[in-house]
Amino acid sequence: MSCSNSIDEKEAILNVMNRQEEAWSNGDVETFMEGYWRSDSLMFIGKNGIKYGWQTTLDNYKKSYPDKAAMGKLEFEILQLEVNGNTAYMLGTWSLIREEDNPNGHFTLYWKKIDGKWVVTIDHTS
């Protein structure tokens, strides 16, 4: 893989993250979920342990963030992004800007390029 190709792949992944930030901040969790692998094998690791599946992840987001006020404005900061062929590793921070509070934490994402599209296959968020 050439260096410029790797830069293009990183840009494609960052574009997915930007769309996710925008969708979340608009209260649109369905569009936010387009960044995830639509599979029962999607793995989400959070404070309640490991959960599997795209639909489960969507349902959990909807339960935890029932409306736009609860969702707030999402901001990501990418600390590290390494692309290796059709897989990528990302480390970053997330922050929600809300009326009452400002929850935040870290995430580790494992990406795969599936059918020409970068998607998150493992999300560990704390």
The string of DSSP codes covering 106-123 is: EEEEEEEEETTEEEEEEE
CATH number for the region 3-125 comes to: 3.10.450.50
- In which residue are the tokens 């999402």 written? 74
User: What are the phi and psi torsion angles at 13 (to 5°)?
Assistant: -65, -45
User: What is the maximum span of the chain, computed from C-alpha positions, in angstroms?
Assistant: 47
Mean pLDDT of 58-63: 97
Q: Residue 7: its pLDDT value, please? A: 86
CB 104 within 8 A of CB 118: no
Q: Residue 1: its pLDDT value, please? A: 46
Instruction: Show the tokens assigned to 100.
Output: 């009452």
Mean pLDDT of 48-52: 96
Q: Is pLDDT of 91 > 90?
A: yes
Q: Residue 2: its pLDDT value, please? A: 52
CB 125 within 8 A of CB 104: no
Q: Where are the domains of the chain?
A: 3-125
